[in-house]
Amino acid sequence: MRIAIAGASGRMGKTLIEAVINHPACTLAGAFDLAGSPTLGRDAGDFMGTNTGVTITDSVEQALSNAQVLIDFTRPEGTLTHLVVCQQLGVKAVIGTTGFEADQKTAMAELAKKVAMVWSPNMAVGVNATFKLLEVAAKILSQGYDIEVIEAHHSKKVDAPSGTALRMGEVVAKALGTDLDTVGVFAREGITGERQPGTIGFSTIRGGDIVGDHTVLFAGLGERIEITHKSSSRMTYAQGSIRAAQFLMDKPTGLFDMQDVLGLSQLRL
């Protein structure tokens, strides 16, 4: 597979480049970043001491000109711009960007009518297995348990709660027969009164270099059940992204997620 990487100078971008270079079924076909990035004009593998023959550019079109798949973990506005170019050039896309607003998700779905893409707030295989476990747990613990989602990330993360935490809340809410917009509680301060039954609370931690920790707590009378996933390396996201790219190779159009990639959307437990 010929893969291009967006945000090539960032932490996730570098991890993706490393994963592509080291994967036997992948070739790095392009790398790009914002205008003004100090890495423009340099080889994409410089940070590894490797010569890839791919120069980091600020031209999306140039970076995608020889690519089959774009992997993008940037920002919503930039990702949507990149997807327009993907549509024009017939390049498939794997999107790990989070923080999309409702109208941006709609725009992405429209673009997916012309080009195949996988979008997931978390590409790690273990996290997506956790989503399935949460679905089962929520159905079993649907009565008598208060539900809280606690997430922690590094100090540079700009959106909160994380996309993974929100997806966890969505999975639980759907399993309970409701939706997160109705039952989600995202802030508590002052005299809040007693906790309302049936709500799903969120707590956000930001600090240091935490890659990503997520816990869903089911708190009942006399017991607590906690389902936790902890990431110690961004490489798990990169490896999942390559798996998603492989999934897309025979898909002409459509918007998929990692549950589709892993065959979990059809799994009934």
Amino acid at 26: C
Task: Name the strand (E) or helix (H) holding 19.
Answer: helix 11-22
Q: What is the per-residue pLDDT for 197? A: 94
- d(CA 28, CA 226) in angstroms, rounded, equals 40
- d(CA 42, CA 139) in angstroms, rounded, equals 52
The one-digit pLDDT tens for each residue of the chain (269 residues) are 999 999 999 999 999 999 999 999 999 999 999 999 999 999 999 999 999 999 999 999 999 999 999 999 999 999 999 999 999 999 999 999 988 999 999 999 999 999 999 999 889 999 999 999 999 999 999 999 999 999 999 999 999 999 999 999 999 999 999 999 999 999 999 999 999 999 999 999 999 999 999 999 999 999 999 999 999 999 999 999 999 999 999 999 999 999 899 998 776 66
Q: Please state which of the four CATH numbers 3.40.50.720, 3.20.20.150, 1.50.10.10, 3.90.180.10 is assigned to the domain occupying 2-119+234-261.
A: 3.40.50.720
- d(CA 215, CA 237) in angstroms, rounded, equals 18
CATH superfamily to which 125-231 belongs: Dihydrodipicolinate Reductase; domain 2 (3.30.360.10)
Q: What is the per-residue pLDDT for 268? A: 67
Is residue 153 part of the annotated active site? The answer reads yes
Tokens representing residue 156 in the block: 């540079």
Tokens representing residue 265 in the block: 């959307």
Q: What is the per-residue pLDDT for 269? A: 61
Catalytically annotated residue among 14, 153, 214, 229 = 153
Q: What is the per-residue pLDDT for 121? A: 84
Question: Is residue 32 within 8 Å of residue 13, measured between CB atoms?
Answer: no
Sign of CA dihedral 7, 150, 255, 102: negative
Q: What is the per-residue pLDDT for 265? A: 73
The neighbour count for residue 268, using CB atoms within 10 Å, is 5
Is residue 157 part of the annotated active site? The answer reads yes
**Extents of the domains making up the chain:** 2-119+234-261, 125-231
Catalytically annotated residue among 23, 114, 132, 157 = 157
Bridging pattern class, strands 146-153 and 212-220: antiparallel
Bridging pattern class, strands 117-119 and 69-72: unpaired
